[in-house]
């Protein structure tokens, strides 16, 4: 096979190699996409845990305030009983003042408890909404991961088919030509063969020496760019 024939075969090989590198790039991006999905789901789980923690904290505050209210009510009942037992007006007035103070405290505690109950209701509503959202995100995440895993399998099968097609085509050129092309395509990631445009390499845009241009026109041997090391050809 002559040089021009080898060039034509390598053009076809390079088309296949372009598809192979496309598949490789897509396969590289898929794990990152799966990681992003998992990260988003974990963020939702963290949000859920944070809300549940808020509910517990608010309920604990409610319990503490209710405990304070209960203690003060016990004292009020105790002082009410003592009112019937005191013997002086001074003691009676002091107990009444203490009872009034406790009742004022209780009134404030009751207001605080009502506010806390409102907060509990609000946070519990957020928890319910977040739980529903988390369920949706989990379902969507599993679906997306399934799609990406299926895409991975499809791309792997495509890669196998492309590799077989490539081998069939590249076997048509001499071993030394195949070896040179394979070496360049690996380094240049899919672009080993480029046309000359005017008097420059179309890949690196470096002007080609007149002697190399003459050799290219003769088409007696493979010529590589002295700058980017890609195989050059003239249509």
What CATH number should be reported for the domain holding residue 71?
Answer: 1.10.287.1490
Note whether 205 and 213 are within 8 A (CB): no
Domain membership of residue 7 (yes or no) is no
pLDDT at 2: 86
Domain membership of residue 231 (yes or no) is no
pTM of the model: 0.67
pLDDT at 1: 66
Domain membership of residue 141 (yes or no) is yes
Q: 179-220: per-residue pLDDT in tens? A: 999 999 989 878 999 999 999 999 999 999 999 999 999 989
Domain membership of residue 202 (yes or no) is no
Domain membership of residue 177 (yes or no) is no
Note whether 223 and 232 are within 8 A (CB): yes
Q: Which residues of the chain have pLDDT under 50?
A: none
Q: Which domain holds residue 91?
A: 20-171
Q: Give one word for 187, left, alpha or beta, with left for phi > 0 and alpha for psi -120 to 50.
A: alpha
Q: Write 176-184 long-range contacts (CB < 8 A, 24+).
A: 177/6, 177/10, 177/222, 180/222, 180/224, 180/231, 181/10, 181/13, 181/231, 184/224, 184/229, 184/230, 184/231
Domain membership of residue 180 (yes or no) is no
pLDDT at 193: 95
Domain membership of residue 44 (yes or no) is yes
Domain membership of residue 8 (yes or no) is no
pLDDT at 41: 92
| Exposed e or buried b per residue across 195-233, where buried means at least 16 C-beta atoms within 10 angstroms of its C-beta | ebeeeebebeeeebeeebbebbeebeebbebeebebbbb
The count of structural domains within the chain is: 1
């Amino acid at each position: 096979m002559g040089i021009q024939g080898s060039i034509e075969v390598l053009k076809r090989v390079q088309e296949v190699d372009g598809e192979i590198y496309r598949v490789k790039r897509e396969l590289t991006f898929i794990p990152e996409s799966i990681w992003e999905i998992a990260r988003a789901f974990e963020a939702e789980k963290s949000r859920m845990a944070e809300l549940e923690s808020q509910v517990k904290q608010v309920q604990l505050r409610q319990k503490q305030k209710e405990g304070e209210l209960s203690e003060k009510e016990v004292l009020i009942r105790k002082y009410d009983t003592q009112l019937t037992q005191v013997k002086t007006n001074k003691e009676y007035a002091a107990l009444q003042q203490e009872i009034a103070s406790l009742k004022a405290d209780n009134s404030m505690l009751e207001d605080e408890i009502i506010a806390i109950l409102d907060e509990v209701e609000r946070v519990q509503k957020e928890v319910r909404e977040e739980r529903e959202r988390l369920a949706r995100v989990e379902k969507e995440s599993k679906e997306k991961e399934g799609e990406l895993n299926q895409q991975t399998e499809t791309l792997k099968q495509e890669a196998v088919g492309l590799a077989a097609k490539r081998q069939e085509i590249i076997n048509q050129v001499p071993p030394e030509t195949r070896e040179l092309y394979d070496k360049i395509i690996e380094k240049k990631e899919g672009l080993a063969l480029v046309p000359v445009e005017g008097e420059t390499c179309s890949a690196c845009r470096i002007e080609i020496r007149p002697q190399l241009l003459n050799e290219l026109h003769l088409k007696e041997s493979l010529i590589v760019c002295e700058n980017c090391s890609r195989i050059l050809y003239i249509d």
